[in-house]
Chain A
Amino acid sequence: MHNILELKNLQKQYATQKAVDDVSFSIEQGSIFGLLGPNGAGKTTLLRMITGIFYPDSGDLLFDGKPFDPQNDFVHIGYMPEERGLFKKMKIGEQAMYLAQLKGLSKSEALEKIKFWFKKFEMESWWNKKVEDLSKGMSQKLQFVTTVLHEPKLIILDEPFSGLDPLNANLIKDEIYGLAQRGSTIIFSTHRMEQVEEICDHIILMNLGKKILDGTVTDVKQQFKENKFNVQFKGQPTELASPIFTIEHQEKQQLIVKINEGYNSNHVLNYLLQQDVLIERFNEILPSLNDIFIHLVEGSKATTRAFQNN
């Protein structure tokens, strides 16, 4: 698999601060990539550089193996920004046609693709409606369609599920998987960690303009695990004190233990079996991305910076 996008030491400075500070990473073609970070971390600036809206102050940006050329590469990119909207007074069909043509599609191509997607999302009857008559969820669907309908190689979605009900969110989610399977690469930017865990293969965490975490979701979780285990049992243990573990939380039939240095899970199980209890469940507690996120970002000046930015 080759990399659709490579960032090398990308920098972007605003008047008072470095919005993006020496960020490098690469994204494999066909992967779903999560870009995470608190407000004001520099995600939007980074995305705007990737879409060619901003030029980086320094650093290299390779798209599909070649230096990024916004003038020509824009046709291969679909960007759904966080601040997104539609022309309120324009008819939905015309609006989709306009946006598709701006992405370089001819009139007939655009019409064909729009019809295909409208049919898929059961939006055919909307053609002559105006955007102001649509609900938020409906216009979100329309925005998604206009982002992907020119079959871009790279799709950038900034908070794509905000304002969608679970049903529509699933619909879009399935489409994201489908697009990735057909070879599109998806960059997914959000604060919603549970969605990232569910969807993304690879994540990057940014804070204060810097990349502070980079890896697959499983790797990251392994990296931040704290050797905690959840034990569920039946019966009355004779004794529950051992140098093998420390008890973090105890209920009548449940324990959360942290294994001490030099021991592993088998040691814990062995010990518990000797305590004359029936083990019903024994599993490792991996940290959620949410925990990792809070752990890494908390205490930095992220919040103050987020407000300075606006």
Chain B
Amino acid sequence: MNKIFLVASREFKTRVQKKTFLLSTIGLPILIFGFYALMIYFQVKTTDNFKVAVSDQSKLFNGKIDDRKSTEVIFSFMDADTAALNKKLNDGAFDAYLFIPNGYNLQSGEPQISFRSSKALGLMTREKIENRINNALEEKKLLALNISKGQLDSARLENNAISFTTNDGKKDNETKVGISYAVGMIAGFLIYIILFVYGTMVMRGVMEEKVSRIAEVIISSVKPFELMLGKIFGIGAVGLIQFVIWIVLVFGLQFLIPVIFPDVAAQMQSAPMQPGAMGAVNAAKESGALQGIMAGLAEINFTLIIGCFVFYFLGGYFMYAALFAAVGSAVNEDPQDAQSLLLPIMMPIIFAMVIMTKAVNDPNSSLAIFGSLFPLTSPIVMMARVAHGVPDGVTVVQLIASMALLVLGFLGTTWVAAKIYRTGILMYGKKVTWKEMWKWAFKNN
């Protein structure tokens, strides 16, 4: 046990002390955050104090477009003809003008309203101006038809006009299903990535030991099995640490956003409340959806999902890492050899990914049930089913059976891999085939 720990701590230390580790663990999230922040920054900064003169010849708006007090786009009314407006625009008195011609017909939209700016508008600015004017026009049109905003809102069918329930009397919330779908997809995909990234890391570690010819030196003081386990544990710890750091960074940086961009935070909070900002209807819809998402999130059992995630992450990693180690031990100097040997290991992982995409849609199909029980695919597929909850997505019996099978699968692959590893790690100068590896694993030697 002591030796496994020694090996594991070496594997851990050498990897964590590398510059690339720091770069990928801390640098990458910061880089992504930096992009994110930059994007927000430009979105906020592009439109500020954009002055628009409005010449309302047909007295459509009565001196104001809407009630919104915005510093981004400021509408100011004045009575002038296009020639005068053009001159003032050239002088820089304002950035753009809106000209509503005399005798403008609300219903036909003729003659056309024109908008002229001193230079081409940014996409965001253009959208904001367009939205506000269109909303204002829409309101005027409704008024002309004798319909008030309130009447229109109440006429619209809400999302929850029909009540979906399942046979056991539970509410079957659409947003909840959607969120389950997303959570399952993300969790399954994360495990898929973990299996690949850290599996290949184990394989490369084993190859390094073999290619640098240190394996035999070490094997004379450590049993091959202990060496393999030490490697798997050490790299597993690296993976775990990396994940924890990523999660902490992601959450930590999110809290940083309001500190760095106070106005963004303010806008985010006020945006849905502002009447007429994106149109009252839109706002109402938005806040309703938001509430739905919140409610959906609250209904999802995150303790269960996180618990299962950790279990299937570790179980899947240990099971596949042993196989990757076996392949690494069989490969010689030529990394190309690894490719063909890896294929049989990657197949079930990719296959699991395919089943998972089906299982998030239909967690109780027979394919999903098979995939979530079979240990080579269960780490990925089960996450898709667990996201739908117990017992909606998966029964307790199936969950326990899947976990037990995964543990058995882990013991099985480790046992097989250890036998291949023991022979392979000392074998030089020969290209190994799957047939030979099979012999190493199942023949007594």
Contact = CB atoms under 8 A, between A and B. Distances in A.
B429 A84 contact: no
A51 B219 CA distance: 9
Contacts of A90: 14
Given A102-B6, A310-B430, A81 B216 contact: yes
Nearest to A100: B221
B156 to A, nearest CB: 65
Contact of A89 (B14, B428, B445): B14
B55 to A, nearest CB: 73
Interface stretch (A24-32, A72-80, A221-229): A72-80
Interface string A68-100: 000000100101110111111110000000110
A103 interface: yes
Given A98-B10, A310-B429, A53 B219 contact: yes
B280 to A, nearest CB: 63
A215 interface: no
B214 A84 contact: yes
A85 B214 contact: yes
Contact of B212 (A74, A80, A88): A88
A111 B320 CA distance: 37
Nearest to A77: B220
Nearest to B429: A310
A15 B440 CA distance: 10
B216 A102 contact: no
B405 to A, nearest CB: 33
B285 interface: no
Interface residues of B, number: 23
A94 to B, nearest CB: 8
Contact of A81 (B3, B14, B208, B220): B220
Contacts of A48: 426
Given A98-B6, A310-B430, A53 B221 contact: no
A101 interface: yes
A86 B426 contact: no
Given A53-B426, A98-B10, A310-B430, A84 B217 contact: yes
A173 to B, nearest CB: 21
A48 B445 CA distance: 14
B442 to A, nearest CB: 13
B221 A102 contact: yes
B222 interface: yes
A104 B219 CA distance: 14
A146 B209 CA distance: 17
Contacts of B14: 87, 89-90
B171 interface: no
Interface string B209-240: 10011101111111000000000000000000
Contacts of B428: 83, 310
Given A90-B14, A98-B10, A79 B220 contact: yes
Contact of B214 (A51, A77, A87, A103): A87
Contact of A86 (B7, B212, B219, B222): B212
A74 B445 CA distance: 21
A83 B221 contact: no
Contact of A83 (B213, B430, B445): B213
A48 B425 CA distance: 13
Given A89-B14, A310-B429, A310-B430, A51 B220 contact: yes
A83 B210 CA distance: 10
A133 to B, nearest CB: 14
Contacts of B220: 51-53, 74, 77, 79, 81
A81 B217 CA distance: 7
Contacts of B213: 83-85
Given A87-B212, A88-B212, A99 B426 contact: no
Interface string B410-442: 000000000000000010111000000001000
Interface of A: 14-15, 48, 51-53, 74, 77, 79-81, 83-90, 98-99, 101-104, 143, 146, 310
Given A83-B213, A84-B214, 12 more contacts: A15-B439, A48-B426, A77-B220, A83-B426, A88-B208, A88-B212, A99-B218, A102-B7, A102-B222, A103-B221, A146-B217, A310-B429
